């Protein structure tokens, strides 16, 4: 989807919102919603910077082919020729999953699932589990350090615990390591891990950790990690290993994720934060300024999005890195989409975690997904202003609190300049 089409869609939902407020004319004026670059990490980018692919008011779910891709591997596993994919287990027909005990820190299992013993799980076996244990949930895929989402998906599969159970673990099992196809080159292995407790049980009403084989109702394609990937509902992207080939059951007590190598915090779940999508670069004095954007709803939920506009020459308050002393006003959180256009029939099929049987979200905004917001700033006097937005989570904590540290997930407050002409 092109940048123009994307912004067209965003404008459509926000326009509907402003029209309900009787403000259609305010928007007609100087084409105030002309898109501009989003800021990332507080730095303003050029006006031509494309809107992040993963942020969609409608159709809301990102078509699989439009996710942003950050996959590693030389060659990229999804770029291998079909014949090679068949040979290495990257097709539904050839896929096999081994579930092994870690030789260095063994877990005691009744049996391993191995290729050698012809007990490895195949795709039919996985689907069989799905007949009785199907899990489906909405989740935004976000890369830890990038902040901007790679895509919003409706992910479908079976709980990892059902596959672990096939080995009949007895004791000495504290963690699951897992990795996928990596061109048979140990230096290319991209692995992640979870405490066994998270795999066996779902705290705080989270969906289970799944072995995923469908996205938005279609088979998971090769680029998104198919035939099978892990999806960890509350995790950043690096926990959701693609081209899954191995689960290793271990008695080691700590993480050994590939992502830990870059000074990343590999245990912290998704944060809540807001970002703008449409803020005018320049407006006329006295004219109301419509602004809009999205918020990622992390583990602590979302109660509000707020905005703040201050003269650019206002002295920066001391000891206030999070602008707690600034004057913030509430933006409007936009309702869920009426049609889920990227899905067949435009509907969320039952059962889906967090949705009722008619396909309506049980709560909104919904944790682990994107929400959209809009606000109208009253007319301003001539000059330059800093525009900021932030979230307040369900516990009342303003972004980037309670977790402002950068390496546990991007959530810096962004800052944009609006010029008001006489
Ligand atoms: N096997 C494998 N899995 C992987 C990766 C990878 O490079 N190789 N990248 C991870 C990272 S860092 C992210 S952010 C997500 C991105 O998922 P997506 O490609 O579906 O957007 O995949 C994760 N899973
Ligand atoms: Mo990532």
pLDDT at position 316 is 84
Q: Which of 69, 80, 140, 238 to mutate to test the pocket of ligand 1 (most atoms within 8 A of CB)?
A: 238
Nearest CA to ligand 1 atom 10: 238
Domain C-terminal end among 234, 262, 290: 262
Asked whether residue 237 falls in the same domain as residue 147, the answer is yes
Asked whether residue 214 falls in the same domain as residue 172, the answer is yes
**pLDDT reading at 237 higher than 60:** yes
pLDDT at position 320 is 96
Asked whether residue 98 falls in the same domain as residue 228, the answer is yes
* pLDDT digits 0-9 by tens, 358-403: 999 999 999 999 999 999 999 999 999 999 999 999 999 999 999 9
Task: Give the nearest ligand 1 atom to 236 CA.
Answer: 14
Q: SS3 for 60-116, per residue?
A: CCCCHHHCCCCCCCCCCHHHCCHHHHHHHCCCCCCCEEEEEECCCCECEECCCECCC
C-beta separation of 273 from 127 below 8 A: no
Q: Say how far apart CA 181 and CA 189 lie, in whole Å.
A: 8
Check which CATH number belongs to the domain holding 303 and give it: 2.60.40.650
* pLDDT digits 0-9 by tens, 246-301: 999 999 999 999 999 999 999 999 999 999 988 999 999 999 999 999 999 999 99
Nearest to 289 by CA among 379, 199, 164, 364: 379
Asked whether residue 318 falls in the same domain as residue 338, the answer is yes
Asked whether residue 242 falls in the same domain as residue 281, the answer is no
* Residue whose structure tokens are 């061109």: 183
Which residues have C-beta atoms less than 6 Å from ligand 1? 67, 69-72, 141, 143, 150-151, 180, 190, 224-225, 237-238, 240-243
342-372 burial, b for 16+ CB within 10 Å, e for fewer?
bbeeeebbeebbbbeeeeebeeebbbbbbbb
* pLDDT digits 0-9 by tens, 70-128: 889 999 999 999 999 999 999 999 999 999 999 999 999 999 999 999 999 999 999 99
First to last CA, the chain: 37
Distance 70 CA to ligand 2 centre (A): 7
Question: How many residues in total does the chain contain?
Answer: 422
**Phi and psi, residue 91, nearest 5°:** -125, 160
Asked whether residue 324 falls in the same domain as residue 398, the answer is yes
| Cα 86 versus chain centre, distance | 30
Task: Give the nearest ligand 1 atom to 181 CA.
Answer: 1
Ligand nearest, relative to CA of residue 225: 1
Reading the block at residue 84, the tokens are 């090679």
Task: Give the nearest ligand 1 atom to 182 CA.
Answer: 1
Residues of the domain holding 137: 66-262
Asked whether residue 235 falls in the same domain as residue 104, the answer is yes
In terms of pTM, does the model score above 0.85?
yes
Distance 384 CA to ligand 1 centre (A): 40
Nearest to 393 by CA among 271, 287, 221, 276: 271
C-beta separation of 120 from 96 below 8 A: yes
Asked whether residue 258 falls in the same domain as residue 356, the answer is no
Check which CATH number belongs to the domain holding 118 and give it: 3.90.420.10
Asked whether residue 197 falls in the same domain as residue 330, the answer is no
257-289 burial, b for 16+ CB within 10 Å, e for fewer?
bbbbeeebebebbbbbbbbbbbbbeebbeebbb
Ligand nearest, relative to CA of residue 78: 1
Asked whether residue 210 falls in the same domain as residue 302, the answer is no
Asked whether residue 52 falls in the same domain as residue 173, the answer is no
Distance 237 CA to ligand 1 centre (A): 6
Asked whether residue 254 falls in the same domain as residue 349, the answer is no
Q: Which residues surround ligand 2, an ion (CB under 5 A)?
A: 143, 237-238
Distance 249 CA to ligand 1 centre (A): 21
**pLDDT reading at 44 higher than 80:** no
Q: Which of 54, 63, 190, 233 to mutate to test the pocket of ligand 1 (most atoms within 8 A of CB)?
A: 190
Domain C-terminal end among 217, 232, 262: 262
Reading the block at residue 398, the tokens are 């303003």
pLDDT at position 153 is 95
**pLDDT reading at 163 higher than 80:** yes
Task: Give the nearest ligand 1 atom to 68 CA.
Answer: 21
The strand ranges marked E within 148-209 are: 149-159, 169-171, 175-180, 191-195
pLDDT at position 146 is 84
pLDDT at position 28 is 36
Domain C-terminal end among 262, 296, 330: 262
Distance 40 CA to ligand 1 centre (A): 20
Nearest CA to ligand 1 atom 20: 224
Number of domains in the chain: 2
DSSP secondary structure code for residue 400 in this structure? T
């Amino acid at each position: 989807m092109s940048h123009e089409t994307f912004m067209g869609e965003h404008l459509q939902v926000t326009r509907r919102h402003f029209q309900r407020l009787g403000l259609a004319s305010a928007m007609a004026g100087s084409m105030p919603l002309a898109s501009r670059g989003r800021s990332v990490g507080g730095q303003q980018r050029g006006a031509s910077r494309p809107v992040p692919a993963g942020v969609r008011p409608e159709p809301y779910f990102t078509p699989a082919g439009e996710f942003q891709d950050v996959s590693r591997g030389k060659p990229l596993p999804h770029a291998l020729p079909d014949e090679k994919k068949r040979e290495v287990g990257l097709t539904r027909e050839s896929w096999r999953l081994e579930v092994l005990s870690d030789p260095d820190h063994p877990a005691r299992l009744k049996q391993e699932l191995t290729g050698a013993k012809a007990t490895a799980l195949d795709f039919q076996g996985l689907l069989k589990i799905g007949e009785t244990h199907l899990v489906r949930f909405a989740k935004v895929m976000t890369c830890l350090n990038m902040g901007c989402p790679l895509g919003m998906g409706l992910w479908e599969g079976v709980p990892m615990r059902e596959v672990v159970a096939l080995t009949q673990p007895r004791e000495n099992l504290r963690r699951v390591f897992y990795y996928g196809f990596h061109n048979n080159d140990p230096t290319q292995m991209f692995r992640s891990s979870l405490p066994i407790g998270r795999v066996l049980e779902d705290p705080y009403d989270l969906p289970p950790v799944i072995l995923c084989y469908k996205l938005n109702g279609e088979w998971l394609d090769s680029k998104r990690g198919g035939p099978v990937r892990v999806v960890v509902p509350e995790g950043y992207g690096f926990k959701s290993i693609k081209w899954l080939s191995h689960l290793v059951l271990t008695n080691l007590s700590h993480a050994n994720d590939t992502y830990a190598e870059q000074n990343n915090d590999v245990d912290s779940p998704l944060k809540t934060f807001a970002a703008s999508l449409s803020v005018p670069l320049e407006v006329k004095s006295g004219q109301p300024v419509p602004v809009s954007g999205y918020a990622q709803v992390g583990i602590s939920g979302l109660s509000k999005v707020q905005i703040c506009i201050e003269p650019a020459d206002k002295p920066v308050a001391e000891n206030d890195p999070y602008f707690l002393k600034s004057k913030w006003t509430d933006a409007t959180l936009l309702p869920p989409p009426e049609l889920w256009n990227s899905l067949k029939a435009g509907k969320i099929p039952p059962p889906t975690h967090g949705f009722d049987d008619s396909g309506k979200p049980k709560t909104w905004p919904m944790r682990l997904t994107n929400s959209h917001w809009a606000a109208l700033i009253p007319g301003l006097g001539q000059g330059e202003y800093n525009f900021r937005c932030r979230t307040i989570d369900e516990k009342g904590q303003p972004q980037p609190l309670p977790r402002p540290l950068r390496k546990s997930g991007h959530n810096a407050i962004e800052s944009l300049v609006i010029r008001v002409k006489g």
